[in-house]
Amino acid sequence: MIKISRILVPTDFSELANLAIDYGAAIANQFQSELHVLNVVDDYFVLTGEGQLVLPDRNEYLKGLKAASERELATLPRGSTTTIKVSRHTAIGRPFEEIVRFAKEHQIDLIVIGSHGRRGLSHLLLGSVAERVVRLAGCPVLTVRPDQHQFVTV
């Protein structure tokens, strides 16, 4: 028998991530699992020398991004999840590292993540968070792509 107690769905708030959340919520409903929704704030803060562009304080910058993330997370998932426990989390760091770390620390049984399935130059330039999570996660990972057969209806 399959036992899935905790499901993690990382989100960047895109439509594809919302589709992954739909999948995660549907599976959580089916297995009466906890659903964890995680947004990772990628720290792109640029350091500049004196006399150059004036940027806000790094801590204030990240604090603002984290607050915006938490506001957006509060609206997720958008479907009916009255029968499951939903926890929302924000982390700061490199997305794939934080997703894998979170999954390990919270003993996640399944990660559901959106993947664009990029190939060629765009894959080389952008990389793939989903691909890295699949390679590094200590639990099964379900990738959701926009062009695949959809088996969850909302």
138: phi then psi, degrees, rounded to nearest 5: -90, 15
Residue 128 confidence class, pLDDT cut points 50, 70, 90: confident
> pTM score, two decimals?
0.86
Q: Which two tokens stand for residue 129?
A: 């968070």
CA distance 60 to 82: 35
92: phi then psi, degrees, rounded to nearest 5: -120, 130
Q: What is the pLDDT of residues 63-119, one digit of tens each?
A: 999 999 999 999 998 876 668 999 999 999 999 999 999 999 999 999 999 987 555
Pairwise pLDDT comparison (90 vs 124), residue with the higher score: 90
Domains in the chain: ranges and CATH = 6-144 (3.40.50.620)
CA distances from 103 to 74, 81, 99, 129, 149 (A): 20, 21, 6, 14, 26
Report pLDDT for 150: 76
DSSP 49: -
